[in-house]
């Protein structure tokens, strides 16, 4: 069965709706300018997931490639019960597919649009929101587009933050200590963004959380006007009134959340200690189980033997290669440049069995007088060298049933220009492993 070029296209026959032979794509859940989101079912586990299908050409033409890379990088390292989890990323020539945790309850916006929430229910969802936002901030992630449409509900009606497409990380902060990209949804945007003088990512998220809390409690926006410029003036002046049913404690908290001065606006820690917020509040417990590579020296049971959904890969127990790892250095999904020269490492494809790859690496390394310090079925680490300090880690990841991605990371301190251990001595000995479209082999 072919992989979907148009995943979930309503004109496709049901037989064409299985993505990579793994996900049976169902109804359309929502769509935007660059992506559509579908309900899907894992054909092996029967688990429901959401598939976000992103048109690759549109993001390239729109100059949003960096945004997509950033979104994946961010979501891969966020593990919190109130954040939608990214399970894996797949790709074909036309689309990139985010496989996401499925939130059965739909958008929070749809619920509050029907009727405002009670103060107790508003508090419950606000507590869950702040728990997720505080977690993100502690990891240097700023959402920058928090709104009810980006808050989902699971089958137990618990909140899940989603859509990190406009998120920023600490690396984007300029020397003045602020972010400067103008983004967000007009009714939820903080005044300092409108003033275009730079802003603190954490502070603008807190402002948006204040707008959300106001909407949950009242059923309408605090700042709203058909004329966008008039609405922006209201935002910058902090011109809003709470409904009459709002309790004094909630009114006081809203005034601190929607403080137009970011310097005096309430912080996450202050919110958590607020008397109104703390009613019935329970600290969220979670595990810091990132999807990042473990340190090479960690010899415990390794996460790299697991698939990106946390389950063990079948067959040779190699970690399933996240398609974005390939896209990140080959946007056209062309893998003709099998060795790409980079200081932090190189990658190539191989059709050889994993055990042969590892044994070849070991043989070549030992032939150059290097010492093997770690050897497993999916990785090998060597050190040594008579004329330089050299270290190399080679890790294998499963891309398809036939292809393995071999990732090499090296570190060496050269004595002279001719002492390039990896480039001049090790890499040539591994050429026989490299998958080529024409005849090739070790001879």
Domains of the chain: 14-101 (3.30.200.20), 106-278 (1.10.510.10), 303-433 (3.30.310.80)
Whether the CB-CB separation of 254 and 277 falls below 8 Å is answered with no
* DSSP structure string for 51-81: EEEEEHHHHHHTT-HHHHHHHHHHHHT---T
According to the model, what pLDDT value does residue 424 have?
A: 84
Whether the CB-CB separation of 367 and 384 falls below 8 Å is answered with no
* Measured distance CA(288)–CA(170) in Å, rounded: 19
Read off the DSSP letter of residue 83. Answer: B
According to the model, what pLDDT value does residue 304 have?
A: 34
Q: Which residues contact residue 210 at a Cβ distance below 8 angstroms, ignoring those fewer than 6 apart?
A: 254, 257, 258
145 an active-site residue? yes
Alpha-carbon separation of residue 423 from 188, 427, 441 (angstroms): 53, 5, 20
Tell me the Ramachandran region of residue 345: left when phi exceeds 0, alpha when psi lies from -120 to 50, beta otherwise: left
User: Which segments within 162-307 are labelled E, that is strand?
Assistant: 168-169
pTM of this prediction? 0.64
According to the model, what pLDDT value does residue 337 have?
A: 35
Both tokens of 424, joined, read 């001049």
Q: What is the pLDDT along the chain (443 residues), one digit of tens a residue?
A: 334 444 334 333 333 578 888 899 999 998 877 889 999 999 989 999 999 999 888 888 878 888 888 888 888 888 899 999 999 888 888 889 999 999 998 889 889 888 899 999 999 999 999 999 999 999 889 998 899 999 999 999 999 999 887 777 666 667 766 676 766 788 999 999 998 888 888 999 999 999 999 999 999 999 998 999 999 999 999 989 999 999 999 999 999 999 999 999 999 999 999 999 999 998 776 544 433 323 333 333 333 333 333 332 334 555 555 554 544 444 333 323 333 333 447 888 888 888 899 999 999 988 888 888 888 878 898 887 555 577 888 988 877 777 888 888 887 765 444 457 888 888 899 989 988 654 444 54
According to the model, what pLDDT value does residue 338 have?
A: 34
Which of these is catalytic: 42, 120, 145, 344? 145
Read off the DSSP letter of residue 277. Answer: H
Both tokens of 23, joined, read 């996900």
According to the model, what pLDDT value does residue 214 have?
A: 96
According to the model, what pLDDT value does residue 342 have?
A: 38
* Measured distance CA(397)–CA(395) in Å, rounded: 7
According to the model, what pLDDT value does residue 133 have?
A: 95
Whether the CB-CB separation of 318 and 396 falls below 8 Å is answered with yes
Angle between helices 201-218 and 248-257 (to 10 degrees): 150
What are residue 422's phi and psi, to 5 degrees? -65, -55
Distance of CA 361 to the CA centre of its chain: 32
Both tokens of 213, joined, read 């809390």
């Amino acid at each position: 069965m072919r992989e979907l070029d148009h995943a979930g296209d309503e004109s496709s026959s049901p037989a064409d709706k299985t993505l990579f032979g793994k996900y049976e794509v169902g109804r359309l859940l929502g769509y935007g300018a660059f992506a559509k989101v579908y309900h899907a079912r894992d054909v092996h586990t029967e688990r429901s997931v959401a598939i976000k299908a992103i048109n690759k050409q549109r993001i390239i033409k729109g100059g949003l490639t960096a945004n997509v890379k950033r979104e994946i990088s961010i979501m891969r390292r966020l593990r919190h019960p109130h954040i939608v989890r990214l399970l894996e990323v797949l790709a074909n020539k036309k689309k990139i597919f985010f496989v996401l945790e499925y939130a059965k309850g739909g958008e929070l916006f749809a619920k509050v649009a029907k009727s405002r929430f009670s103060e107790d229910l508003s508090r419950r969802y606000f507590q869950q929101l702040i728990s997720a936002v505080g977690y993100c901030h502690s990891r240097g992630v700023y959402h920058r587009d928090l709104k009810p449409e980006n808050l989902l509900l699971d089958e137990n009606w618990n909140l899940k933050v989603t859509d990190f497409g406009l998120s920023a990380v600490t690396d984007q902060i300029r020397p003045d200590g602020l972010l400067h990209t103008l983004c967000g949804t007009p009714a939820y945007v903080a005044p300092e963004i409108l003033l275009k003088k730079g802003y603190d990512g954490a502070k603008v998220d807190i402002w948006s959380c204040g707008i959300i809390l106001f909407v949950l409690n009242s059923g309408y926006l605090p700042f709203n006007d058909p004329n966008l410029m008039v609405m922006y003036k209201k935002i910058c002046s902090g011109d809003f009134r709470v409904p009459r049913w709002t309790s004094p404690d909630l009114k006081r908290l809203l005034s601190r959340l929607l403080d137009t001065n970011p310097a005096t606006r309430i912080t996450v820690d202050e919110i958590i200690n607020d008397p109104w917020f703390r009613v019935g509040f329970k600290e969220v417990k979670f595990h810091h189980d990132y999807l990042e590579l473990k340190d090479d020296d960690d010899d415990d049971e390794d996460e790299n033997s697991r698939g990106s959904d946390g389950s063990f890969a079948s067959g040779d127990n190699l970690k399933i290669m996240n398609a974005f790892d390939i896209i990140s250095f080959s946007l056209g999904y062309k893998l003709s440049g099998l060795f790409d020269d980079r200081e932090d490492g190189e990658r190539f494809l191989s059709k050889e069995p994993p055990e042969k790859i590892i044994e070849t690496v070991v043989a070549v390394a030992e032939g150059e007088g290097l010492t093997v310090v770690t050897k497993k079925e999916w990785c090998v680490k060597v050190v040594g060298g008579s004329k330089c300090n050299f270290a190399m880690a080679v890790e294998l990841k499963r891309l398809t049933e036939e292809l393995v991605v071999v990732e090499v990371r090296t570190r060496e301190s050269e004595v002279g220009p001719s002492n390039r251990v990896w480039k001049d001595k090790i890499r040539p000995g591994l050429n026989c492993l490299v998958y080529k479209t024409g005849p090739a082999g070790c001879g």
